[in-house]
């Protein structure tokens, strides 16, 4: 037990060091820093989805919509001078968290199975896309709108992409640390493990599964809204194509499945691999999607629990 705890702590420390030092190697290569920043943001998005689907089996197919809501609320608030950037980000976090809680509450009360929850939340994605395009006088329609000049305080001294890299990585590391504490030092972690293994059995041993699911949806959705607000500021252009199902939901799902569902390091591993592969295969154009599909089939066939679990069991089992 002590060995396992020390191993996890070592892994978290190594992860933080890697995130801190890697950009220093490429500080004079803005494009690489941009890719690293995107990787960090997608790790954060995958973390939100991982807690929803990986730990509580809630298939939310509206990750892009939640991220987009956070970005649009923040962008419109700052663009129109309604409030400052801090207040706008907090508002985005609260609104998306509330929406996630309502969606989870309704699905739990109606006892929707995973696939029907997915269909329900996919409808939210469609509504979001139609609203963004329909309210063109507010959202800018299909072309969106630009937002610039947002101050990040002391980080303003850094190059633009590097500022948001550290914002995203600090967010991801904070989420990882909180997840580590919840999973291994609280009753919530015990509840997650029981729900992941068998939901009915979890209820039989006295776990309030409905409460765990709705609270997880609340905080995971709020996290997606928070990171979505940051992503909008990072992108500078807030447009529907940035938050489309194919742009955010599918990558988040692939990252979680590839890295390892219901694992702490899975989203980090998955996003790093996807970032490298995506850049290496960029020259293939549309064929990249075909290769992603084939890769996903192979992963589901041979690495059903993801790379993190495979590494733990087959390679470094002595270390865990």
* Domains of the chain listed by start with CATH number: 2-244 (1.10.3470)
Torsions phi, psi of 122, nearest 5? -65, -35
pLDDT, mean over the chain: 89
What confidence score (pLDDT) does residue 315 get? Answer: 60
Lowest mean pLDDT among 30-39, 99-108, 237-246, 306-315: 306-315
Start-end of H helices in 205-265: 209-235, 250-259
pLDDT band of 185, cuts 50, 70, 90: confident
d(CA 74, CA 82): 10
Lowest mean pLDDT among 5-19, 55-69, 100-114: 5-19
Q: Would the pLDDT of 11 be above 90? A: no
Lowest mean pLDDT among 240-244, 259-263, 277-281, 301-305: 301-305
Q: Would the pLDDT of 1 be above 60? A: no
CA angle at residue 205 from 200 to 211, to 5 degrees?
Answer: 70
Q: Is the pTM of this model over 0.75?
A: yes
What confidence score (pLDDT) does residue 320 get? Answer: 40
- Bigger pLDDT: 149 vs 218: 218
Q: Would the pLDDT of 312 be above 80? A: no
CA distances from 22 to 32, 57, 175, 259 (A): 10, 34, 20, 20
Strand partners, 238: 145
What angle, 0 to 180 degrees and rounded to 10, lies between the N-to-C axes of helices 85-109 and 209-235? 150
Give 78-89 pLDDT, tens digit per residue: 999 999 999 999
For residue 211, how many other CB atoms are within 10 A of its CB?
A: 11
Q: Would the pLDDT of 155 be above 80? A: yes
- Bigger pLDDT: 9 vs 317: 9
What confidence score (pLDDT) does residue 197 get? Answer: 79
Q: Which residues contact 121 (CB under 8 A, 6 or more apart)?
A: 59, 60, 61, 62, 103
């Amino acid at each position: 037990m002590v060995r396992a705890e020390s191993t996890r702590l070592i892994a978290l420390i190594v992860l933080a060091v890697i995130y801190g030092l890697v950009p220093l190697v490429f500080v004079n290569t803005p494009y690489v820093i941009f890719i690293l920043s995107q990787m960090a943001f997608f790790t954060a998005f995958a973390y939100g989805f991982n807690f929803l689907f990986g730990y509580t089996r809630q298939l939310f197919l509206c990750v892009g919509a939640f991220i987009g809501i956070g970005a649009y609320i923040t962008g419109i608030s700052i663009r129109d001078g309604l409030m400052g950037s801090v207040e706008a980000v907090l508002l985005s976090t609260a609104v998306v968290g509330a929406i996630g809680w309502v969606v989870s509450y309704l699905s739990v009360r109606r006892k929707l199975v995973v696939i029907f929850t997915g269909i329900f939340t996919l409808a939210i994605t469609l509504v979001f896309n139609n609203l963004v395009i329909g309210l063109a006088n507010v959202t800018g329609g299909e072309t969106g709108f630009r937002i610039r000049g947002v101050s990040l305080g002391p980080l303003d001294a850094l190059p633009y992409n590097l500022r948001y890299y550290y914002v995203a990585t600090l967010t991801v590391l904070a989420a990882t640390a909180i997840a580590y504490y919840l999973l291994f030092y609280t009753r919530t972690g015990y509840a997650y493990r029981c729900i992941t293994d068998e939901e009915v059995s979890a209820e039989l041993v006295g776990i309030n599964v409905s409460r765990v699911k709705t609270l997880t949806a609340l905080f995971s959705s709020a996290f997606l809204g928070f990171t979505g607000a940051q992503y909008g500021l990072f992108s500078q252009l807030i447009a529907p194509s940035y938050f489309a199902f194919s742009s955010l939901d599918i990558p988040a799902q692939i990252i979680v499945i590839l890295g390892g569902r219901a694992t702490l390091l899975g989203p980090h591993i998955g996003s790093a691999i996807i970032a490298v592969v995506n850049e290496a295969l960029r020259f293939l154009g549309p064929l990249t999607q075909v290769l992603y599909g084939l890769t996903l089939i192979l992963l589901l066939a041979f690495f059903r629990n993801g790379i993190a679990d495979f590494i733990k069991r087959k390679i470094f089992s002595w270390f865990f």
